[in-house]
Amino acid sequence: MSPPRKGASNLLLLLLLAILSCRFAESAIGVNWGTVSFHRLKPSTVVDLLKENKIGKVKLFDADPGALEALMGSGIQVMVGIPNELLSTISSSVSASDLWVRQNVSRYMVKGGADIRYLYIAVGNEPFLTSYSGQFQTYVMPALLNLQQSLTKANLAGYVRLVVPCNADAYESPSLPSQGAFRPELTQIITQLVSFLNSNGAPFVVNIYPFLSLYGNSDFPQDYAFFEGTTHAVTDGPNVYTNAFDGNFDTLVSALTKLGYGQMPIVIGEVGWPSDGAPGANLTAAKVFNQGLINHVVGNKGTPLRPGSPPMDVYIFGLLDEGAKSVLPGNFERHWGIFSFDGQAKYALNLGQGNKNLKNAENVEYLPSRWCVVDSSKDLTNVANHMRIACSVADCTTLNYGGSCNEIGVKGNISYAFNSFYQLKMQDERSCDFDGLGMVTFLDPSVGECRFLVGVTETKGSSSSKSSSSFIGSRRWMISIIVLFIWAVQLLMM
């Protein structure tokens, strides 16, 4: 047998490089699809919204059957979440782990199913968060090992990767990114985690929120939170940081380097800017931050420690506003969406996916165009209690300081509260009574950016139309590799 020709060897190398470059070109902007809302769009409507905006990656916080069924055949890659509350059970029982995989992964990996070939299962969400005081910490590695075993049994271990989204508070730095290190009490478990991730070809997933740095620290320079340049640049040896995102990212890189994993791929699991509910949380700031972030990522700028190498994927938080979320962190928690709860774009945003601006959801099924407002002709002496009750159930976060409805006047505030409750109760006429203080109107009482919502129907829609296109597409890439590889080997043998 004659030795391989040099030209054929070079050709094989080029082919393999081309294949690898195609694989890594899948990195993109994705979104987090949260569902903690009083007014949930039909899953099929949300999937259509994702497709219209050419969003090819989505992250779920649980294995919601409606969402997964709607995603089947869509070609959209999914990161499925396992809530922290399940970690104890899964970590202590292989049977529970097997059952979870069967119910939430295997059943969707069918012809025309969800695109799970290059999927990640998020084991918990920010389980090392400081505020959890370590309550989930001991479950993480046992849960990972059990789930990996379950995936192997199901012949899925080569297709599905396990990751653990971490909050940026898992690591810290005295002052400079190069000094980054994981919190001392986490060093042992994080070392185990990154070793597991590395051995299974999985990335480190981190959630980074410059907004929270600004919100929680009055001394934090506002312009450093964005990507427009700053007068407060941070100089770290030869590296200069002009935005908080890069500084935070490289702090993680430094922390990973100290553990011997400086080249580990990183995925941003959550990043974004709220548009309401607090000072600094508004439409303008949200647009400037998110567009700056997207331009920064798709422009392949990278960071000082990883120039020209942006994160593998970046998942914007979030897709839709979630009006039923806890406001314990702040009223802004319900306003992270780039779309409002009903799938309408809040501002112009180019996701770098082909569309210059966001496209609104279509075929949204609204309740009738009517609102509940206060009857200003009545004695409003006792209205405060009614307003308090309404807001204890419905979402009134925009009325607070810094919110878009904070300056619409006392009667406007009362009407907003009444209407929020009325829409939550699906416009039941009794829900607009308030001891005779409320009245139904057909004139939209919205004022400027203060939008009085109309609810959407809660009809359970069927999933998007299924087809085998996703299944075929996910296999086509591998088939192409095999064909090219065989061809290249034949050239070498000549």
| pLDDT band at 416; cut points 50, 70, 90 | very high
* pLDDT tens sequence across 228-241: 999 999 999 999 99
Residue 9 has pLDDT above 60, yes or no: no
Residue 159 has a pLDDT of 87
* pLDDT tens sequence across 368-379: 999 999 999 999
Q: What's the rounded Cα separation, in Å, for the pair 70 and 124?
A: 23
Residue 67 has pLDDT above 80, yes or no: yes
Residue 117 lies in a domain: yes
One domain for residues 379 and 329: no
One domain for residues 284 and 405: no
Residue 110 has a pLDDT of 76
One domain for residues 147 and 204: yes
Q: What's the rounded Cα separation, in Å, for the pair 211 and 168?
A: 13
Per-residue pLDDT, averaged over 217-227, amounts to: 95
Residue 326 lies in a domain: yes
One domain for residues 185 and 54: yes
Residue 192 lies in a domain: yes
Domain boundary among 396, 422, 441: 441
Q: Among this protein's residues, is 185 annotated catalytic?
A: no
What tokens does 493 get? 């043998």
Residue 410 has pLDDT above 50, yes or no: yes
CATH number at residue 15: 3.20.20.80
Q: What's the rounded Cα separation, in Å, for the pair 114 and 96?
A: 22
Residue 494 has pLDDT above 90, yes or no: no
One domain for residues 276 and 420: no
Q: Which of the residue ranges 96-100, 120-124, 339-343, 413-417 would you say has the lowest mean pLDDT?
A: 120-124
Catalytic residue among 69, 126, 322, 333: 126
Residue 176 has a pLDDT of 97
Residue 56 has pLDDT above 70, yes or no: yes
Per-residue pLDDT, averaged over 295-307, amounts to: 95
| pLDDT band at 459; cut points 50, 70, 90 | low
Residue 491 lies in a domain: no
Residue 113 has a pLDDT of 64
One domain for residues 58 and 180: yes
Residue 470 has a pLDDT of 36
Domain boundary among 441, 473, 489: 441
One domain for residues 328 and 377: no
Residue 180 has a pLDDT of 98
| pLDDT band at 355; cut points 50, 70, 90 | confident
CA contacts within 13 A on the Cβ side of 403: 23
Top-confidence residue, 111 or 276: 276
One domain for residues 41 and 143: yes
| pLDDT band at 18; cut points 50, 70, 90 | very low
Residue 403 lies in a domain: yes
Residue 35 has pLDDT above 70, yes or no: yes
* pLDDT tens sequence across 238-253: 999 999 999 999 999 9
Residue 225 backbone dihedrals phi, psi, to 5 degrees: -80, -20
| pLDDT band at 30; cut points 50, 70, 90 | very high
Residue 210 has a pLDDT of 97
> Do the Cβ atoms of 452 and 444 come closer than 8 Å?
yes
Catalytic residue among 52, 69, 172, 270: 270
Q: Report DSSP letters for 440-473, one per residue.
A: EESS---BTTB-----B----PPPPPP-SHHHHH
> Do the Cβ atoms of 49 and 343 come closer than 8 Å?
yes
One domain for residues 424 and 315: no
Residues 6+ apart with CB under 8 A from 475: none
Residue 297 lies in a domain: yes
Residue 140 has a pLDDT of 97
CB atoms within 10 A of CB 193: 24
Residue 1 has a pLDDT of 39
Residue 354 has a pLDDT of 83
Residue 475 lies in a domain: no
Q: Which of the residue ranges 85-94, 290-299, 342-351, 457-466 would you say has the lowest mean pLDDT?
A: 457-466
Q: Among this protein's residues, is 126 annotated catalytic?
A: yes
Per-residue pLDDT, averaged over 193-218, amounts to: 96
Residue 114 has a pLDDT of 58
Domain of residue 397: give its range.
Answer: 371-441
pTM over 0.75: yes
| pLDDT band at 191; cut points 50, 70, 90 | very high
Residue 338 has pLDDT above 70, yes or no: yes
One domain for residues 194 and 281: yes
CA-only gyration radius of the chain, Å: 25
One domain for residues 237 and 313: yes
> Strand 438-441 relative to strand 266-271: parallel, antiparallel, unpaired?
unpaired
Residue 493 has a pLDDT of 46
> Do the Cβ atoms of 246 and 173 come closer than 8 Å?
no
What tokens does 228 get? 């427009």
Average pLDDT, the chain: 88
Percent of the chain surpassing pLDDT 90? 81
Residue 243 CA to its chain's centroid (Å)? 21
Residue 158 has a pLDDT of 86
Residues 6+ apart with CB under 8 A from 219: none
Count the domains in the chain. 2
One domain for residues 282 and 398: no
Residue 342 lies in a domain: no
Percent of the chain surpassing pLDDT 70? 85
